[in-house]
Amino acid sequence: MLEETHLSPAFFPRFLSLADGYFVSVRNFALGQLVFRFHPDGELIDSDTLSIGETYYSYLVNGEPRLVSQQGLFTGTGWRIRTVLHEFDTQGAYADSLVLREEDLNAGESAAGHAFHYDGSVLTCIAASVRPGATLNTFRVWMTIYDGSTTTEIDPWDPGPLPQRSYVTSWEVLRTADARYVLAMFVRGEANMAIWFLGLESDGSFNSNLHLQSVASDHLLNGMILKEHNGSLLYAFTEVTTDGSFGGGAQVAAFPLTILLNSHDQRPELPSSLTLSAFPNPFNASSTISFSLPVRSNIALKVFDLLGREVATLAEGMYTSGTHQRFWSASSAASGKYFCRLTTQDDSRVIPLILMK
């Protein structure tokens, strides 16, 4: 029997079945990554202590265990993110480590989460970085694909500004049967809680499709799983309450993948003109601002009061053609009339917003 001190405190447990036994790995912050190999009857064969950093994901390749670690390293001048794959043989013995990606972040940027998925042939790795702002946290997503021999690094991209004073606490990723991707992120804010589902093309680019799953304002996400089933995205998530009572339970839901991953011949036609709308309007807490772009444009989406003073910047930068959505959380604004203005390099639109508290 294992001595309790070998496993306590232990985190991030990983369990895999070998051809002739079991492979178990846990993280002990005092000792390192602990790896145990057991006979089928549960008898311990041997163990190793490895200095490989925290491992957050595990899978098997032809009976050989794989562990994946995502590391945020401070270099003295800034942060660096590094994704590392650790390989073991069919007996569960450590064989080698492979750095899949290593990137230095910009000044003011730091690591902000990760997610992994293995579909039997391809390992998909997501790393996120964030640059905190006074009202808006801006994110970048770093996607890396490894097929067992070749690593493909997708250029980092920004999923768009979150609602004001919001941040992401959980990420999940799924590679679909047609080699496209769904990225899920739990967005926690002052006025709303929601899971954002984003559609990605096979090259890792964001196709601007977004599906939302609301979460009760007094709940936090505790875990999430994504699965593909008969053309739909099936997802399960557990919630805990913010007051520490740990209520909330679990939910299972699904929606057609075509919402996020329309095939090219099913895609709606691109908008022919610049449009801007808000719903609900009037509103008493937050409103969803929708805008459509006929061509890829450098835009600014801002809210102003009656005196022309800027109240909020909802979106800024280069956006693809198509329809986009952003949120205005007006919890700190006074009741009254405001204006939302969308500006591109060629045109602009303005709509009134009525805040009623």
Determine what percent of the chain is predicted with pLDDT higher than 90. Answer: 35
pLDDT in tens, 121-169: 999 999 999 888 776 777 889 999 999 999 999 998 887 666 767 788 8
The Cα-based distances of 70 to 13, 28, 110, 300, 338 in angstroms read 15, 16, 13, 34, 44
Tell me, what's the pLDDT at 191? Answer: 62
Going from N- to C-terminal start, the domains of the chain cover 58-266, 275-355
pLDDT in tens, 293-352: 888 888 999 999 888 888 999 999 888 777 888 889 888 899 999 999 898 887 878 888
Average pLDDT over residues 276-280: 88
pTM to 2 decimal places: 0.70
pLDDT confidence band for 246 (50 / 70 / 90): low
pLDDT confidence band for 73 (50 / 70 / 90): confident
Domain 275-355: which topology?
Immunoglobulin-like (2.60.40)
Select from 140, 97, 101, 92 the least CA-distant residue to 124. Answer: 101
Q: What is the 3-state secondary structure (H, E, C) of 247-299?
A: CCEEEEEEEEHHHCCCCHHHCCCCCCCCEEEEECCCECCEEEEEEEECCCEEE
pLDDT confidence band for 62 (50 / 70 / 90): very high
- Extract the tokens encoding 11: 């985190």
Select from 64, 52, 127 the least CA-distant residue to 93. Answer: 64
Tell me how far apart the alpha carbons of residues 126 and 113 are, in angstroms, rounded to a whole number: 8
Phi, psi of 109, rounded to the nearest 5 degrees: -100, 145
pLDDT at 207 over 90: no
Tell me, what's the pLDDT at 115? Answer: 95
pLDDT at 2 over 60: no
- The edge-to-edge listing of strands for the beta sheet with 57-61 is 57-61, 64-74, 79-88, 94-104
105 vs 11, higher pLDDT: 105
